[in-house]
Amino acid sequence: MDDNKEARSRRKFLEDVSLLAAGSVAGSMLPTLPAFAQAKSKATGTVRVWGEPGPYGGVAVDGMNEWAAKFAPGLKFQIESLSWDSVYVKLMTDLAARRPANCISVESPIAMQLMAQGLLEPIDDVVKQVGRERLIDGAKWEYWGAWKGKQYVLPAHHQPHLLLVRQDVINELGLGDPDKWDWNDLLNAARTITEKKPGMAGISLALGRNLCTDYHFAALLHSAGGRMFDPSKQYEVVFDSPNTVEALEYVKSLLPYMPKSAVSASFLEVVDSIVTGKAAMAFYWGRPYGRAWDENKEVFKNLEAYNHARHPKTGNRSNWNDFQGWCIPKANNPYIKEVKAALAYYQTSKVWPVRYCQSLVPNVSPVYKDTAADPELQKHPFFETKKRTIDTYYTGSLKYSSSTANELLGGVNPLAGIVHGRSILAQTVQKVVIDNMKPADAAKWGAKELESVRKEHFSLVI
């Protein structure tokens, strides 16, 4: 018994040493992480941390607890998961009740709304400690949340949704290279699959009144060259445009090739459809890979991801990207100093950012160059067969990334969070696919709703 224990601890020691050695070698080739002094804190209690479902929030909190063990022994960081569809409601109700979490991991549209509303603590000091130059090529700090010269959101990961395809089905039906597709090719592929593969939908998109639909439609809107607001003209609403109409018409043309429940689908339903093999293609983030690995190896083997299809006229590809970051509520938060120190600690560690990304490959993409280049990151079984797909998620997607919080990367948009809170994009889509409204009329309806958001919250953008 004791011998076993000893053998185990020896093995563990050898593993640790070899990891350390590998880390040192790798570290010598990478940008040096900034070192900074950490002050001790006598604060006590539980620091509440909000994150979306998934293991990565918990990993970050483990890193923060490592900081607490060294520098604030009276503190314990604790993760609370918020489901995607209720994140806005939970944030708003708790902020209204003046009891927000002490640290929040949230997607850029909501983070930017909170930032512009003056609810967040600036974190330029943390950014300085983390290292401004470390940010991955192709991304800018403002994508996560900067406003009027101050940074309010610290990058946690970037997270694009791409075009997921069942490569075996695509090959079997001779549908060509999805990386070269435009919208017409995608539509044709969806139609062909639906017609030739009984029991399998061509493509799965969320069309319910929820955040997932907003994010799916935003990719098409931006690909068509459309947008909601124009930051260069005091956030004038520009949604009522031929581009929006075209994107809506495209969704309608895809509808017959989607699962019948698409009009009420959200995140989970889209993942289900692709993992269970009921759909051959989907717009989705990297999460289905983990589930397919656990539940359906055949799907995992054949599942590949590509940057979204080009718009036939504009040539634009648009990958929605969450640009998920950490932010710190300013009011009623007794742990601002400690949260800043813990965030800086975990983000400057060599170990925690890698563990963070490895906890759900390829869903959470690294945001720092040194993390992306760390050989430890690739010590994950998915890299053996899915390297191209993972690279597309991690780096190849950034060139085409966009979000409603920074439409076409043309300027920060703090109104986007409110737009998503009201599900305006999803409702616009539903006007077309459920109520059979003409796309042009739906675009007008959406524009009217956006105008009301702008009118009510104009103070946020001036």
Partner 1 sequence: MQKNEHWRAADNRIGLLFIAPFVVAALVFMVYPVLESIRMAFYYIDPLNPDAQRFAGLDNFGTVLRDPLFWSSFRNAAYWTFVSTILQTVAGVGIALLLHLPLRGISVFRGLLLFPYIVPTVVIALCWQWMLNPEIGIVNHTLRGAGIIDENIYWLSSPDMAMLSTIMLNVWKYTPFVTICVLARLQTVPTELYDAAKVDGAGVLRRFTDITLPQLAEVLAVVVVFRTIWTFNKFEEIYLLTRGGPGTSTYNLAIYSFEQSIANLRMGVGAATGVIMMLMLFLGSILYMRLFRFQDET
Binding site for partner 1 (CB under 8 A): 85, 88-89, 92-93, 95-96, 98, 114, 117, 119, 208-210, 259-264, 272, 276, 278, 418, 421-423, 427, 430-431, 434-435, 456-457
Task: State how far the Cα of 434 lies from the Cα of 424, in Å rounded to an integer.
Answer: 15
Cβ distance to partner 1 smaller for residue 261 or 395: 261
Cβ distance to partner 1 smaller for residue 158 or 431: 431
Question: 424, 389, 414, 372: which is closest to 138 by C-alpha?
Answer: 372
Give one DSSP letter per residue of 68-134, joined into a string. Answer: HHHH-TTEEEEEEE--GGGHHHHHHHHHHTT---SEEEE-HHHHHHHHHTT-B---HHHHHHH-GGG
Cβ distance to partner 1 smaller for residue 319 or 430: 430
Cβ distance to partner 1 smaller for residue 278 or 388: 278
Closest distance of CB 88 from partner 1, Å: 7
DSSP 8-state code for residue 312? T
Closest distance of CB 196 from partner 1, Å: 20
Question: 263, 222, 275, 313: which is closest to 434 by C-alpha?
Answer: 263
Closest distance of CB 155 from partner 1, Å: 24
Closest distance of CB 145 from partner 1, Å: 16
Looking at the DSSP assignment, which residues form a beta bridge with residue 47? Answer: 77
Task: State how far the Cα of 296 lies from the Cα of 336, in Å rounded to an integer.
Answer: 44
Closest distance of CB 289 from partner 1, Å: 21
Cβ distance to partner 1 smaller for residue 119 or 461: 119
Greatest CA separation found in the chain? 76
Question: 155, 157, 158: which is closest to 130 by C-alpha?
Answer: 155
Task: State how far the Cα of 110 lies from the Cα of 38, in Å rounded to an integer.
Answer: 30
What size, in residues, is the chain? 462
Task: State how far the Cα of 82 lies from the Cα of 61, in Å rounded to an integer.
Answer: 15
Closest distance of CB 437 from partner 1, Å: 10
Closest distance of CB 340 from partner 1, Å: 22
